[in-house]
């Protein structure tokens, strides 16, 4: 990952903020839409795993606990989060990749886009330059996600793991090995 990012001039605090999204967004999503929220022990473990990744990437000023990291993140967002045309370009490209991965038919992508924006935090949608969907779309998405949460909570626990690296993706139709991803000049030994 360091090699992949080394050709760009990225501020430490931008790396730190991006790391915070990997920590806090799954916690938030499971709390709002998952069958159950992460326990405090799970949250701490999740944080520690990503903190260790940050250490290995050479990110400095890593907070030592979730509360400190959350406070730092909120202050950073207040100070830095605002619209820029590049935000919109990245968000649009990300949605295209997501819709391709999910095989969303072209004729439904406008609705899928509105659904995705409805699930975004308002300040995030604003930073991407997306107008808020109308209240009916937001209410429908909240209702659908509440139904999903209810159904997921009623399902039995999985008996086996489902590896993401074995999922079919258009870019990796035969799957992939995480250790072989990246910008390596040659495959790692």
What are the tens digits of pLDDT across the range 35-63?
A: 999 999 999 999 999 999 999 999 999 99
86 three-state secondary structure: helix
pLDDT confidence of residue 184: 60
Domain assignment of residue 170, yes or no: no
**Residues 150 and 89 reside in one and the same domain:** yes
Distances (CA, A) of 120 to 87, 97, 103: 14, 17, 21
Domain assignment of residue 10, yes or no: yes
pLDDT confidence of residue 188: 56
pLDDT band at 186 (very low <50, low <70, confident <90, very high): low
Which DSSP letter does residue 147 get?
H
Report the domain count for the chain: 2
Gyration radius of the chain's alpha carbons = 19
Q: Are 83 and 128 in contact (CB under 8 A)?
A: yes
| Domain coverage including residue 9 | 2-80
pLDDT tens, position by position, 60-98: 999 999 999 999 999 999 999 999 999 999 999 999 999
Distances (CA, A) of 5 to 9, 59, 85, 109: 8, 12, 21, 31
169 three-state secondary structure: strand
pLDDT band at 21 (very low <50, low <70, confident <90, very high): very high
**Residues 123 and 138 reside in one and the same domain:** yes
Distances (CA, A) of 171 to 2, 49, 104, 126, 186: 22, 27, 16, 30, 19
HSE value, Cβ hemisphere, 13 Å, CA-based, for 12? 7
pLDDT confidence of residue 5: 84
pLDDT confidence of residue 180: 76
* Mean of per-residue pLDDT scores for the chain: 90
pLDDT confidence of residue 189: 55
Domain assignment of residue 114, yes or no: yes
Domain final position from 22, 48, 80:
80
**Residues 91 and 118 reside in one and the same domain:** yes
**Residues 95 and 55 reside in one and the same domain:** no
Dig out the tokens for 186 from the structure.
């040659």
**Residues 154 and 119 reside in one and the same domain:** yes
Domain final position from 37, 64, 80:
80
């Amino acid at each position: 990952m360091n090699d992949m990012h080394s050709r760009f001039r990225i501020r430490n605090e931008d790396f730190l903020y991006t790391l915070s999204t990997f920590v806090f967004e799954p916690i938030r999503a499971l709390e709002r839409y998952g069958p159950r929220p992460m326990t405090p022990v799970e949250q701490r473990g999740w944080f520690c795993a990503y903190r260790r990744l940050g250490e290995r990437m050479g990110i400095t000023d890593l907070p030592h606990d979730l509360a400190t990291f959350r406070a730092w993140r909120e202050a950073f967002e207040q100070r830095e989060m605002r619209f820029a045309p590049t935000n919109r370009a990245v968000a649009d490209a990300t949605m295209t990749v997501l819709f391709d991965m999910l095989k969303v038919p072209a004729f439904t992508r406008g609705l899928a886009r509105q659904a995705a924006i409805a699930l975004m935090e308002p300040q995030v949608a604003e930073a991407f330059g997306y107008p808020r969907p109308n209240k009916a779309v937001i209410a429908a998405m909240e209702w659908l996600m509440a139904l999903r949460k209810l159904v997921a909570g009623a399902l039995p626990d999985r008996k086996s793991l489902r590896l993401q690296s074995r999922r079919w993706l258009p870019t990796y139709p035969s799957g992939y090995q995480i250790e072989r991803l990246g910008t390596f000049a040659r495959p790692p030994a």
